[in-house]
Chains A and B, each alone.
Chain A
Amino acid sequence: MTGVIVSIINGLLLGAIYGLAAIGLTLIFGVMKVINLAHGAMIALGMFALYLLVSWLGINPYLAVPVVGVGGFLMGFCIYWIAVHRVIGRAELMSLLATFAVSMIIVGVGTVLWSTSPYNVQVDMPGLSIGRYTIPGNHIVAAVVAILVAVALYLFLYYTRLGKAIRAVASNRQASELMGIPSTRVLAIAFGIGIGIAAVAGSLIATLFPFTILSGASYELKSFVVTVLGGLGNPAGALLGGLLLGLIEGSVSPFVSVSWTPVIEFSLFVVILILFPAGLFRVGRGR
């Protein structure tokens, strides 16, 4: 019984990170109706950025995480102007392909630089023991950081001028332009924030598991599942969706072989998308 509870706790801790990764995806969709297929590539890039900072400069991994976030923001800001700006407001296919092209370029360059062999970041953190079981310390810290970042984003979106501008552009771009908000610049900033969050999520995952340049893809798919659980374009829902996905993974894993979890996840994904396209949670939605 303790084993099941520990497994559920572990699942929830991971779920917080899935939630954070998905927030980056859902923020971008919510603001500019673009599904960012470069999301996984940016998560992978966040992993490698942390690896490089830790192995070259020798700084503490957790101190490197904010640096990765800022780097991700700047990169996202540039990607917006190069690839996304021209496809905003055009057919979905165009924005999907433009971001996928960015993903191909990043993964291609990454493969040349680091090949596809696994890397890992060494983190020493005392774990929490419950009976025979241990909850690894790095999982706890990563989950706490993930939740803190999510809360910070919430405060930013609701209590700062820029955050309010982002929400205004998301709900009606023309009206916000009439109110004097430079909507194009706001979109670029929102895209940068979304990418920055993806990179932070990637760097947190890098403190937990070994990774390759291709690892981003599986977290991108998990982010899709999470966003659909929480409702596309709904950041608060994404965090809850992430926790729910973690809960499902944690409570299923003691009973079924791990390889079956994707079957359950993706079947659930399709079913929920068909039955509840607005997501399971209706929190923080003005509309």
Chain B
Amino acid sequence: MMIKRPFFWMIVATVAVFAIAPLVGGIGVRESLFLAAIYMILALNLNFMIGYTGYVNFGSIVFFGLGGTLGIFAITVWGWPLWAALIGAGVVVAGLALLLGLGILRLRGAYFALATIGVVEATKAFVSNFDPFGGSTGMYISFSAYKPLGGAREALWVAYFLLVAVLGISLLLSFWIKRSRFGLGLFAIREDEDAAMVLGVKAPLFKAIIYSVSSVLPAIAGVLFFFKNGVIQPEQAFDLTLSIEAIVMLMLGGQGTVIGAALGGFAYEQFRGYLLTSSTFSSFHLVIAGALLLLIVLFAPGGLIGWAHERWAITRKVLE
């Protein structure tokens, strides 16, 4: 059923471009696309909470950071191969998110948003103090960890293609959830949680499941990011700013839409890269990004895709 829709083929094309472009363009293109893919994965998975369910998760970065920390711990200390660390981190983070979700998703609105900030800060403070994870200096990956993949240079390519795969899964999952009965339940919760429960949507269960689902792929992306990075530090892994930047990406593209989240992540990376490298704007990048965010919030809360949907009715049928 999904194959017949044009959007499915747009996803396939996007993944194909991500896979082929660095082979043609070289390492510079790969580095830029690697970061873009990370941003897109964060935005797409955050979209499950904010766009689909209507719960403002300010602390989505905790999944990315915790996944990275656990995965790198498994690789460096226990000597696990990369694939096992990826699966292990994904499973453990999903389990923790499910338990946590059953607790904090009882809160609504602003209270939930504050609780998610608390979760990030508590986890960051714990990891910075927990000596097996290297404390505040973090963990380094020795070159021997890259050996099984054929050396450091090849390992970077492997990490990149795995990340593109995670991006593809994120896109397909977003599309599938949006079209499923489960997704419809989430939309009902977003519109009016009490009414949805009266109509038989198991809201607490649905919320906990989607919270857990939204944690798996960022956790795996976290392992890949820090595996490629070679070092993981708590300050960098649990960076609340990146968490909020993910919301900015979502707003930029258009929350609640798959293409909006993906486009927002990609555009934000390009925009940020441009501001940081341009000589006139580099010191003002925070100011410009802030002003842009303010303009979106005040005047175009639907983002790029919301704006397009309003203008051209046809886009609603094609762009999910």
Selected from B58, B107, B298, the residue in CB contact (under 8 A) with A277 is: B107
CA gap between A90 and B297 in the complex, in Å: 11
Distance of B274 from chain A, by nearest CB (Å): 16
Q: Are A108 and B287 closer than 8 Å at their CB atoms?
A: yes
Q: Are B121 and A262 closer than 8 Å at their CB atoms?
A: yes
Interface residue? B248 (CB, 8 A):
yes
Within 8 Å CB of B122, what residues of A?
262-263, 266-267, 269-270
Q: Which chain A residues numbered 87 to 102 have a C-beta less than 8 Å away from chain B?
A: 87, 90-94, 96-98, 100-102
**A86 and chain B: residue at smallest CB distance:** B298
Bin chain A's interface residue count.
35 or more
Interface string of B127-143 (1 = CB under 8 A from A): 01100000010000000
Within 8 Å CB of B128, what residues of A?
259
Interface string of A181-213 (1 = CB under 8 A from B): 000000000000000000000000000000000
Interface residue? B20 (CB, 8 A):
no
Q: Which chain A residues numbered 39 to 93 have a C-beta less than 8 Å away from chain B?
A: 83, 86-87, 90-93
Within 8 Å CB of B111, what residues of A?
232, 273, 277
Q: Are B286 and A102 closer than 8 Å at their CB atoms?
A: no
Main secondary structure of the interface of B (DSSP, over half): helix
Interface residue? A112 (CB, 8 A):
yes
Distance of B196 from chain A, by nearest CB (Å): 17
What is the number of residues of chain B that contact chain A, defined by CB distance less than 8 Å?
A: 45
Within 8 Å CB of A35, what residues of B?
110, 113-114
Interface residue? B318 (CB, 8 A):
no
Binds A, one of B28-36, B91-99, B174-182, B288-296: B288-296
Q: Which chain B residues numbered 147 to 182 have a C-beta less than 8 Å away from chain A?
A: none
Interface residues of B (CB under 8 A from A): 50, 54, 56, 58, 103-104, 106-107, 109-111, 113-115, 117-119, 121-122, 124-126, 128-129, 136, 240, 244, 247-248, 251, 255, 283-291, 293-294, 297-298, 301
7 pairs, CB–CB < 8 Å, chain A vs chain B? A97-B247, A108-B288, A111-B283, A224-B114, A232-B114, A259-B136, A263-B129
Interface residues of A (CB under 8 A from B): 29, 33, 35, 83, 86-87, 90-94, 96-98, 100-105, 107-109, 111-112, 217, 221, 224-225, 228, 232, 257, 259-260, 262-263, 265-267, 269-270, 273-274, 277
